[in-house]
Amino acid sequence: MVRLPPELLGEVFRHLKVVAKSRLDLVSASLVCTAWFSEARPLVSPDALKSLSLPNCRHGRHQVERLWRLSSLLTESLRHGLDYCDLVREIRVTLPFIEDQAQSGAEAIRSIVNLSPPNLRQVTVNVLNSGRFLPQLTELIEHMCAGHTPTTLNIRSALSLHSHEALQEVSLRILEHFEPFVREIHLRGVQLDDRIHLVLTRCRLVERLAVERYPARLHPAVPDALPRLADALPELTSLTFRLGGGDDRVSSGSLRHLVVRCPRLRELRIRCDGSIDDECLKFVAREGRTLVELELEDCAGVVGKGEEWVEEDVAWRGLRRLRIVGASDVAPSFVERVLAVCSELEYLKVPEYEVLEDKMVEFGFEKGKDLAWHRTVW
C-alpha cells in the first residue's frame, strides 16, 4: 500500500470533511488502516452517528441505504475494537413514513441494536400529520428495541383532533412496553387521560417527567393528576407539567404536595393557577431545598405582598435558574434574599424592579434582550 506523508494525509481528510456527501465517508475511510484512523477519527463529531432515524416520506430511500451502510460500518468497527458504536444514542421515528421503506429501515436499525451500542438510551417518536400509520408504529418500535432497554422516551404529536384517539392508543402501548425500565418520559400533544395517567404512575423508575400539550385542543386531564403522580413517583428529580388552561393548571395545594412528596426534585417547570400566591412561593422557597431550576408560568396570584422575606425563607442553596412569569409583582426583599442566598444563580427573570437594578449589577448580572438577568461576573 502506498503511504502518504502524515502532513499530506491530514490535509486530505480535512478537505474530505468539507466535501463528503455523508458523514459516513469519514467513518469508512478511517477503517482503512491505523494511519487513516488517526487522521479521520478526530474529524467525526460526537453527534455524527447520534440518531438511527426510521425512514420517512421525505428522504425514505436514502435513509434506508444510509442505515444499512452504517450497520455494516459499525459491525466492521467492532471487529477492529473501535468506538464508533458509542456514538449511537437514539432511535428516531417520524410519521408519516413509506411502509416498505419503513420495514427495511426497521430491519437495519434492528441489526444495529443487535450490536448493543452502550449509549443507545433514547427513543423519540414525532407524529406530524398522518394517523394512518399509527397502528404499525408500536410493532415497529417493539421490533427495533427487542432485547434492548432504552431508558428515555419522547412522544411528540401535532395531530389534529380527529386522529387523537389513535394517538392515545399507540402512546399507551408504547408506554406499557417501556414501563419496566424507562427513567425519563416526555409527552407533548398526548392527553393525560385516565389510562395514560395510570401507566405513568406504574413507571416506578422514572426520574424525569415532562407532560405538555397545546391549550384548548383536548379535554382536561384527570382530576388531581399532579398530586397522584407525586405520590406514585417520589424519586422524581425533574418535572415539567404544562398542560392547557383551567383545571389543568397547577394549584397551590398540588404544588405544596409535590414539593413535600418529591424531596429530590431539582428541576420544576409548571403552569400555575391563581391560587399560587406569595405564601405558596415562600413555602416552595423554604421546602424545595434541592431545586436547581424553577419556572413558574402564569403566576397571577403572586403580587409581592405579605411579610418581609428573611434569610431562612430561602433554602435554594444550589439554585441556578429562576423564572417567574405572569406575576404582577414580587417583593423586593424576595429578590434580595435570592441574590444573597443563591450563590450559584445564573439566570433570573421576575417582574422588573428599577430599584433593584443596581443590586443586580452589583452581583454580576446583566440584562439580556429577553429582559432576564444573566450573570456574567462571578
Q: Single out the residue in 165, 182, 210 at which a domain terminates.
A: 210
Q: Is the per-residue pLDDT at 7 higher than 70?
A: no
pLDDT band at 32 (very low <50, low <70, confident <90, very high): confident
Residue 173 lies in a domain: yes
Residue 73 lies in a domain: yes
Residue with the three cell numbers 477503517: 31
Same domain, 1 and 139: no
Residue 68 lies in a domain: yes
Residue 377 lies in a domain: no
91 neighbors 130 (Cβ within 8 angstroms): no
Same domain, 36 and 100: no
Same domain, 25 and 113: no
69 neighbors 25 (Cβ within 8 angstroms): no
Average pLDDT over residues 23-46: 83
139: cell is 410493532
Q: How far is CA 31 from CA 23, 28, 123, 263, 320, in A?
A: 14, 6, 29, 49, 44
Q: Which of 357, 359, 302, 360 is nearest to 331 (CA)?
A: 302
Q: Which of 110, 103, 163, 109 is nearest to 134 (CA)?
A: 163
Q: Single out the residue in 150, 184, 210 at which a domain terminates.
A: 210
- Report H helices in 114-246: 134-145, 164-178, 194-201, 225-232
pLDDT reported for residue 161: 47
88 neighbors 50 (Cβ within 8 angstroms): yes
Same domain, 91 and 135: yes
Q: Single out the residue in 210, 238, 271 at which a domain terminates.
A: 210
126: cell is 414525532
Residue 349 lies in a domain: no
- Measured distance between the N- and C-terminal CA atoms of the chain, rounded to whole angstroms: 56
- pLDDT, tens digit (0-9, with 9 covering 90-100), for 293-347: 999 999 999 999 888 999 899 999 999 999 999 998 899 999 999 999 999 999 9
Same domain, 187 and 73: yes
Phi, psi of 127 (to 5 degrees): -100, 105
**By residue range, what is the domain housing residue 34?**
1-44
Instruction: Answer positive or negative: Cα dihedral of 95, 96, 99, 104.
Output: negative
Share of the chain above pLDDT 90, in %: 53
pLDDT band at 269 (very low <50, low <70, confident <90, very high): very high
Residue 218 lies in a domain: no
pTM over 0.85: yes
For the chain, the domain total comes to 2
pLDDT reported for residue 102: 81
**219-223, 256-260, 364-368: which is most confident:** 256-260
- pLDDT, tens digit (0-9, with 9 covering 90-100), for 89-103: 999 888 776 677 888
319: cell is 439554585
**Which CATH number characterizes residue 9's domain?**
1.20.1280
Q: Give the H/E segment covering residue 256.
A: helix 252-261
pLDDT band at 19 (very low <50, low <70, confident <90, very high): low
- pLDDT, tens digit (0-9, with 9 covering 90-100), for 175-212: 999 999 999 999 988 888 899 999 999 999 999 999 98
Same domain, 60 and 181: yes
